[in-house]
Structure 1
C-alpha cells in the first residue's frame, strides 16, 4: 500500500479512537458519569425504578458510610434528576428491630442525577446479615418505595461505639475523619447521636468530647497539640485536632460531657487506668 493510502487509514483510526466512549462517560447515555471513582454497593429494585447505591469501597461497613444514590427509570434507562427521598435502615434482632443514625438525602453538589447522605451502622452479624434498607421517594408528585436486605461487614477497627450514658440515655459516637491519617495534625471529625427511640437517632448539639490519643504498643504514650471536639453547626458534626506523632495503632480515648459539663461516659487515662471506656481506634 502506498503512503498516500496509509496516511488516511491511520488518520481515520486515530479519529475513531479519540471519539470512543470516555471512561468518565456513562456507557448507556454517552453523558458524563456522575459516579466516576465510586463503586456500586448494591441495588434496590421495584417495577418502576432501580435505586443504585455507591461509595468508595463497594461495601457497607460498621461505622460511618458516605453513600451516593442514583434512581434509574427502568423503562428508559435514564437517571432521575428531580426526586426527593428518605431512607430507613433496619437491623433485625432475634426479639426486636432497630435503626441507626442517618442523614437526610440531599442532591449532591454539582450533580444532576446523584443524591447523597450517610448511614452509621453501629453493629452487624458476623456474616454481614441482619440489615435491610428501605428508600421512599417521590418523583413528579408520585410516591414510590424500594426495599431489600443489605450486607454490612464488620470494620477492622472500632470506628463506632454505642453505649448507655450516666443519664440513662443511649448514645452512638462514630469516627468520620480522618480517612487518610498523616503524621502531624489531623482534622478529627465524629458524629454524636442520641437514641430517641428504636428508629430515631438525632444528632446531639453542644456536648464536648475530650480527647486523649494513646499508642498502647509504645508505652501508651500520648501526643502534643490535641484539642477537644466541639459541635460544628455547619455540618452537625464534632471537630477537634488529632496529633499523630508516628504510624501505628492508636486508641482515641474520650470523655463525653453534656452542656452542664457533666461526664456522661469515659474516664481520664492514668497510670492505673490505661484506657477510657469510651474510645475509638485507628491505624495507619
Structure 2
C-alpha cells in the first residue's frame, strides 16, 4: 500500500482512540468534597468510629453555631451514609450543670455522608473550658455513645443573652442572621428559647420582638425601615428587617412581648434611656 493511503488510515485510528479515551473520562463521576468550605472543629473517637465536627470557622463560639457532622469507619477509612445521631452539650458549673438550646440533627441536603444541626452556647469560661459534648448514635441497628470535652470561645460581641422575664421564666435569645451584615436592609433572624429545666430549652412561639438599632458612637442615631421580629413556624425562629446605614458598632435594642403584648423584658430607647436592658450587638 502506498504511503499516501497509509497516513489517512493512521490519522483516523489515532482520532478514534483519542475520542474513546475522552468518552471514558467523561463517564467517570467527579469526586465531590462534601465538607468543602468548612473547617474541622475536632474529632471525637469512639472504638472503631471517628465523629468529625465541622463548621465554617473551625471553632465553637458563644451564640449560634451551625455544625456539620460525619462519622468515619476507622477500619476502612470510609464514611457512613445512613445513621441517626443526637447530641447533648453540657456545661459543668461549680455547683451545677446545664445544657443549652440545640436542634435535631438531620442529613444535609445534597450530601451523602454529612449531617447538620445547630447549637447555641449561652456562656463559657474565659479560657473556653467547661463544656462537654455527648453524642448518641446508631448504625445498622447498633447503638453507640461517646462523650468528650469541647472548647467554646467567647464571641467578641454579645450575640446571645440569657435573662429572666417579668413572668419569672428564663429565656435565651440568640442572633442567627445577618452573619455578613451589609449597608442595606438585612434579614434579621433570632432564636428564642425558654429554660424548661437545666437540660431542656424548647422554642418559644408566637411572641413579638421589637427592634430599635442604634449607633452609640454616632450620637445614638437609629435607621429607617426597620420592622419588628415575628415568629416563623417553618424555620422555628423570629425574623424582621434590620436597616444598617453605615459600618461600625451597632446596639440592637430589643423588647420581648408575649402573645398578650405584655412586655417581658426591655425598654424603649429615649433621651433619658439610651439603651434597652435587652439587646444584642453587631459590628462590621
* TM-score, with length taken from structure 2: 0.89
Trace 1:160-179 onto structure 2 (pairs within 5 A): 160-179=160-179
Contact conserved, 1:51 with 1:146, CA < 8 A, in 2? no
Please tell me whether the aligned partners of residues 45 and 147 of structure 1 are also in contact (alpha carbons under 8 angstroms). no
CA offset at residue 98 of structure 1?
0.1
Asked whether the 8 Å contact 1:71–1:79 carries over to 2, the reply is: yes
Q: Does 2:87 correspond to 1:87?
A: yes
Give how far 1:145 is off: 1.0
- 1:227, 1:58 → 2: CA distance? 33
Asked if 1:120 corresponds to 2:120, the answer is yes
| CA distance, structure 2, for counterparts of residue 109 and residue 216 of structure 1 | 41
Q: Give the paired residue count.
A: 258
1:116 is paired with a residue whose SS is strand
Larger radius of gyration: 2
Over aligned residues, Cα RMSD in angstroms?
A: 1.4
Residue in structure 2 matched with residue 52 of structure 1 by the alignment:
52
* Matching of residues 119-158 of structure 1 within 5 Å: 119-158=119-158
Q: Structure 1 unaligned segments of length 5 or more: list them.
A: 1-14, 20-24
Q: Which residue of 1 aligns with 2:5?
A: none
Distance of 2:152 and 2:31 partners within structure 1: 32
Distance 2:167 2:31 in 1: 53
Return structure 1 stretches of 4+ with deviation > 6 angstroms: none
Whole-angstrom distance in 2 between the partners of 1:171 and 1:75: 45
Partner of 1:74: 74
Normalization by structure 1: what TM-score? 0.89
Flag structure 2 segments of 5+ consecutive residues without an equivalent: 1-20
Residues in 2 aligned to 1:112 and 1:146: alpha-carbon distance in whole angstroms: 23
C-alpha distance in 2 between matches for 1:76 and 1:202: 39
| Cα distance in 2 for residues equivalent to 1:255 and 1:235 | 21
Q: What does residue 243 of structure 1 align with?
A: 243
